[in-house]
Structure 1
Amino acid sequence: MSNSKLPLAGLRIADFCWIGAGSYTTKVFGDLGADVIKIETATRLDSLRQAGPYKDGKPGVNRSGYFADRNTSKRGITVDMKHPKAVPLIRKLIAKSDIVANNFAAGVMEKFGLGPEDCAAIRPDIIYIAMSMQGSKGPQRDFRGTGSSIAALTGIQALSGLPDRIPAGTGTNYPDHLPNPCHAAFALLAALRHRRRTGRGQFIDFAQTEPMLSLMGPTFLDLTVNGRLQDRRGNDHPWAAPHGVYPCAGDDRWIAVTAMNDAQWAALVDAMGRPPWALEERWATMPSRYRDRKELDASIAAWTASQDAQALMLKLQANGVPAGAVQDARDVTRVDPQLAHRGHWVHLPHAEMGESLYNNLPFRFSGIEVKPQRPAPLLGEHTREILHDLLEIPDAEIDRLEAEQVLR
């Protein structure tokens, strides 16, 4: 069980989430000490269990690094929800839970008799979060999709890439990793605070398109206030110059450098050793640099091309110039000085994969250390433990449920 001193120790979540945003939301609670019980079934696996990368390149339902990273600090049970005896079992678990979380399509939980009203009847102060793509009501409630669908629907996909090419996207399902799990976790914490003050639970109808839209306020304001429809602009910026990604020494090594004001440009010129070309009057102010940006970028690229990206990043940052080396997986896990300083990477002993690497939480507390408490569960790893110890079901009855294939 989790450390009793952690912020959310004593809280329990019945976790029906799968894939990305929902699983990441409940992972945060598990890492903070909550007892998160992930409910799965071998008859319809969480897609992330079948998504690489796999440990040692060997596929398996318990070998996905992607799944493992999104499900730290959880216990796992397998229950075939389509079996007649499954729902009564789940209702016992909900009666002992504080939160019920799912990110299924709208109406799926209701078909099992486990919608928000059903769960409130089991436990009146339950907090219930449903994270469908478009919410449980409205004309688009039946629309289904993943993070990539949400990115396309909300417009961030169309804004990502070069102006003369098709949208490139963000390189990953951005809504699944930042806006949706972060907003969902915040909503749940607010509901817990409300319950502590009033004794009342809540139903959080969480449409996953909305957090993504909330991060695009400037884009919509530019249209509604200025009548300007934004489009893809690659590494360009409306007024900053330089603002780009430049080559460094080595194979496919790059660094991002920008000057958001004239003071940062002066610091960059100093870091470059005050080359004669950079001291020309035409580069002195932002508007002229922006106007002749292609020539400026070429000059900076000629300077960066022979330098080590990591060393140059540290040099520029020390001079007050915003800069970041473009890093691959090896860089972020073994080289990045900030991630190392913050203890971002955590090694945990996984039952099948052995010692594995996990992301730590993206925040820290001053009074207590927080980090993943245990590796992701094997498929059904804690089924018997939870049924026996938490739900107080006798071993003989558990044996019968296994024989009848309820627990699979």
Structure 2
Amino acid sequence: MTNLPLKGIRVADFTWIGAGSFTTKLLADFGADVIKIESRERLDSLRLSRPFKDGVSGVNRSGYFADRNTSKRSITLNLKHDKGQELARQLIATSDVVANNFTPGTMEKFGLCYDAVRQIKADIVYLAMSMQGATGPHHRYLGYGLTIGALTGLQFLSGLPDREPAGTGTNYPDHIPNPCHAAFATLAALRHRRRTGEGQFIDVAQTEPTVALLGPAVVHHAVNGELSTRSGNQRLPAFPHGVFPCAGEDSWIAIAVHSDAMWGALLGVLGGPAWLREPALSRQDGRVARCTEIDAAIAIETRSWDAQALMDSLQSVGVAAGVVRNAADIVCSDPQLQYRGHWVYLDHAEMGSAIYNAPPFRMSQSGATPVSAAPLLGEHTDDVCREILSLSSVEIETLRCVGALT
């Protein structure tokens, strides 16, 4: 694919685990030559994370790792070795972006902090995305998606009233706010460099994009001095607003009524006892006052419906509704995702044909699928050494023998 928008951009990718790897995946899938620098001594944790293809574990069999590292090349360097560090510097000299998501101080140990890298490539775009940023009293704290969610208040707001914080069931900050903000910042810095010739140091504190998700709770406290608490699926003053049972085992539908007109349309489809049509309940405040009764009555009506049929019926009259899908539904039977070609299958060198997400947006003049499957550990070490670093086979073998290449 020759028309990808980031073709010609090279990224020296020191990131690992979730948010960093997803950031550089977004760049790689749109044409950047992302070279993932790995170590056999300290593996990227995602390589050891479930699910494994066919249930067989292995450093090249993680579906989690594979989905976060499409379209990249992998080399294995020993950054504790002087010659390994020299190879990293040579690679950086040919790169446009250097990316890492280590705790501050880690890249300094390798002699690859921003000031040192800028001496190698003056116009480099240097992305650092630690948990709390490069400065401040907590900048050296270690963190992952779970702890970021806790520190930012996301964990506190997730769950049911009068229950312990439940969280989002996944490392949500790693998947949405942090990689997207980091990728946007990188693209902005590349545009600035193209216009001015100047590089940038991008300091992403992963707590801050996650805080941006909590706008209503922050504003509610700032303006009203009140603390938002866990409310499950309810989002007052919208009501009803929740998940209701449907016919069949573990079958559910989400319904969100944001206006009095929607309430009338909902009753037109569901029917239900006459008291639901009392004048007081035609207004949102009246429904909220009797929310427990109304939720129970709606649940009785939805139990007799097939979830898909009910969603179609409600959508047809302007009521926001969605089937609660599981993974099998999403992969095998979601007509919208299938129409848009969201799922792609790529041939992986060890796992064979495996499923991947396409980029979650489409561009009219560019392809919309990953360029290649995730790399094997160190799969492209020799290729990168020959093509980019201009090393001979003898030199490569020598570096491998002395432990600079692993």
Query: Unmatched 5+ residue regions in structure 2?
Result: none
Q: Please, which of 55, 58, 61 is the counterpart of residue 57 of structure 1?
A: 55
Task: Give, in whole Å, the separation in 2 of the partners of 1:314 and 1:353.
Answer: 38
More displaced 10-residue stretch of structure 1: 305-314 or 123-132? 305-314
Is 1:367 the counterpart of 2:370? The answer is: no
Percent of paired sites with the same residue:
58
What is the rounded CA distance, in whole Å, between the counterparts of 2:308 and 2:5 in structure 1? Answer: 36
Give the equivalent residue in structure 2 for 1:201. Answer: 199
Name the structure 1 match of 2:212. Answer: 214
Q: What is the DSSP-based 3-state SS (H/G/I as helix, E as strand, rest coil) of the residue aligned with 2:156?
A: coil
Aligned amino acid, residue 27 of structure 1: K
Matched residue, 2:394: 396
* Alignment correspondent of 1:186: 184
- Structure 2 distance, partners of 1:367, 1:267, is 41
Query: Structure 2 counterpart of 1:66, which letter?
Result: Y
* 1:397 counterpart letter in structure 2: E
- CA offsets 1:116-159 (integer angstroms, 9 cap, x no match): 11111101010000011111111111111001111000111000
Amino acid at match of 1:361: P
Q: Structure 2 residue aligned with 1:225, among 217, 223, 226?
A: 223
Which residue of the partner structure matches residue 347 of structure 1? 345
Q: Does 1:271 align with 2:269?
A: yes
Task: Identify the residue that residue 330 of structure 1 maps to in structure 2.
Answer: 328
Question: In structure 1, what is the Cα distance between the partners aligned to 2:359 and 2:312?
Answer: 24
Deviations along 1:316-335, whole A, 9 cap, x unmatched?
22221111111111011112
Shift of 1:192: 0.6
Q: Supply the distance in 1 between the matched residues of 2:366 and 2:47 (Cα, whole angstroms).
A: 32
Q: Please give the secondary structure, in 2, of the residue aligned with 1:323.
A: strand
Counterparts of 1:388 and 1:166, CA distance in 2: 55
SS at match of 2:186: helix
User: In the alignment, is the contact (CA less than 8 A) between 1:158 and 1:231 conserved in 2?
Assistant: yes
Give the match's secondary structure for 1:157. helix
Unaligned runs of 5+ in 1: none
SS in 2 for 1:158: helix
How far off its partner does 1:190 sit? 0.6
Rounded to whole Å, the distance in 2 between the matches of 1:223 and 1:396 is: 65
Query: Within 5 A, what are the aligned runs for 1:279-358?
Result: 279-358=277-356
Shift >4 Å, 4+ stretches:
none
CA distance in 1, matches of 2:230, 2:305: 30
Match of 1:80 in 2: 78
User: How far apart, CA to CA, are the structure 1 residues paired with 2:61 and 2:239?
Assistant: 45
For 1:67 and 1:310, how far apart are their aligned partners in 2?
33
* Amino acid paired to 1:266: G
Paired residue for 1:145? Answer: 143
Answer with 242-251 or 360-369: which moved more: 360-369
Preserved CA contact (<8 Å) 1:4 1:10: no
Amino acid at match of 2:308: Q
- Provide Cα deviations, 1:1-56, integer angstroms capped at 9, x if missing partner: xx220011110000000000010000000001100000101100000000001111
Cα deviation, 1:341-363, whole Å, max 9, x if unaligned, reads: 22111110111111000011111
| Aligned-partner Cα distance in 2 for 1:49–1:141 | 27
Backbone CA RMSD of aligned residues:
1.2
8 A Cα contact 1:125 1:195, kept in partner: yes
Q: Secondary structure at the match of 2:254?
A: strand
Give the TM-score taking structure 1 as reference length: 0.97
Letter in 2 for 1:222: H
- Report deviation, 1:398: 0.4
> Equivalent residue for 1:11?
9
Which is worse superposed, 18-27 or 361-370? Answer: 361-370
TM-score, normalised relative to structure 2 = 0.97
By how many angstroms is 1:274 displaced?
Answer: 7.2
Q: Does the 8 Å contact 2:16/2:44 carry over to 1?
A: yes
Query: 1: distance between equivalents of 2:181 and 2:95?
Result: 21
User: C-alpha offsets along residues 227-250 of structure 1, whole Å, 9 cap, x if unaligned?
Assistant: 111111112222111111011122
Q: Which residue in 2 is equivalent to 1:244?
A: 242
In the TM superposition, what is the alpha-carbon distance from 1:214 to its structure 2 partner? 2.0
1:395 to partner: Cα distance = 0.7
Pair 1:24-2:22 in alignment: yes
